[in-house]
Amino acid sequence: MTLDNRTCLVTGASKGIGRGIAEEFGRNGANVVVNYRSSEDAAYEVRDHIDGAGGEAVVAQADVANLGEVQEMYQSVHDAFGGIDVLVNNAGITVDKKFESMTREDWDRVMDVNLGGVFNCTKTCFEDIRNATEGRLVNISSVVGQQGNYGQANYATTKSGMFGFTRTIALELAQEGSTANCVAPGFVMTDMLADVPDRVKEGILERIPLDRFAEVEDIVGMVRFLASEESSYMTGQVLGVNGGMEW
Ligand code: NAP
């Protein structure tokens, strides 16, 4: 499952799942673009980690919600590595509130990053992915997009929205042999989950048949597989990696 000489852009790669994906890609021979928005030191740590393990990585700052910044990032990547073969739309945020307290600003912020970012990055890289040999789009959704989740009407909507987007882009890439798939992780031990109150986490744990939260390492293998040529005949799919949660 080598990614030798494939240029892979991972959004939100300074921390959490994105960091794990970037490092996994680096270990497997990819040229990795480590995108971040604000955690600069962490992003350079990821680059150094990949370089230290014999891989190749560059850091690229951009707020994925801002199309102009994404286009500038793309230009800088192009100068370093040429076209993008694999885009992982991973960057995401939560602004959790019961719907009765959720403001239009809370709604828009999550839409702008989680779906606006997916539009901006996919739009900017689309021709590269389509023209690549075995180009790949991998969108990081969530089990919350499948089940819904109390206090996450905005977030759940963005994560469900990725399913329709992925299936449609899969159709539009298929003629050229490139693919688009979605990974829907369960609850993963990152900063995002750290913000959830303990009593809510206890309730979530009761719903996970494998009786533990996921580690980042539980998710990255699936993303590597989808990025590789091994997954050539899979497209338009949503792959749950969630400890057996039903939906
Ligand atoms: P995290 O630890 O909070 O990391 C989020 C990453 O996204 C950071 O690198 C952050 O960069 C970046 N980011 C946020 N807003 C950005 C923006 N506007 N532009 C560019 N980068 C931005 O979150 P995580 O848990 O790893 O989540 C990663 C993805 O997995 C998200 O899409 C999330 O919805 C999904 N997911 C997470 C879980 C979970 O339980 N953790 C479960 C299912 C799905 P900076 O720090 O540099 O801003």
Residue whose CA is closest, atom 19 of ligand 1?
A: 63
Structural domain contains residue 42 = yes
Expressed as residue numbers, the domain containing 127 is 7-187+218-235
Does the structure show a pLDDT above 80 at 147? Answer: yes
Ligand 1 contacts (CB < 6 A) are 11-12, 14-18, 35-39, 63-65, 90-93, 113, 117, 140, 142, 185, 187-188, 190-193
Distance from residue 175's CA to the centre of ligand 1 (Å): 32
- Asked if residue 244 is part of any domain, the answer here is no
Cα distances from 98 to residues 101, 114, 152, 155, 197, in angstroms, run: 6, 19, 7, 12, 14
Residue 137 lies in a domain: yes
Q: How many separate domains does the chain show?
A: 1
Which CATH number covers residue 73?
Answer: 3.40.50.720
Is 107 within a domain? yes
149 domain-assigned: yes
pLDDT above 90 coverage of the chain, percent: 95
The pLDDT tens digits for 157-195 are 999 999 999 999 999 999 999 999 999 999 999 999 998
Asked whether residue 37 is domain-assigned, the answer is yes
| CB-count burial class (<10 Å; 0-12, 13-18, 19+) for 104 | exposed
Does residue 193 lie within any of the structural domains?
Answer: no
> Which one of 188, 212, 238 would you pick to mutate in the ligand 1 pocket, going by the greatest count of ligand atoms within 8 A of its CB?
188
Which of 126, 155, 143, 239 lies closest to 188, judged by CA?
Answer: 143
pLDDT tens-digit readout, 23-76: 999 999 999 999 999 999 999 999 999 999 888 999 999 999 999 999 999 999
- pLDDT at residue 136 in the model: 98
- 69 within some domain: yes
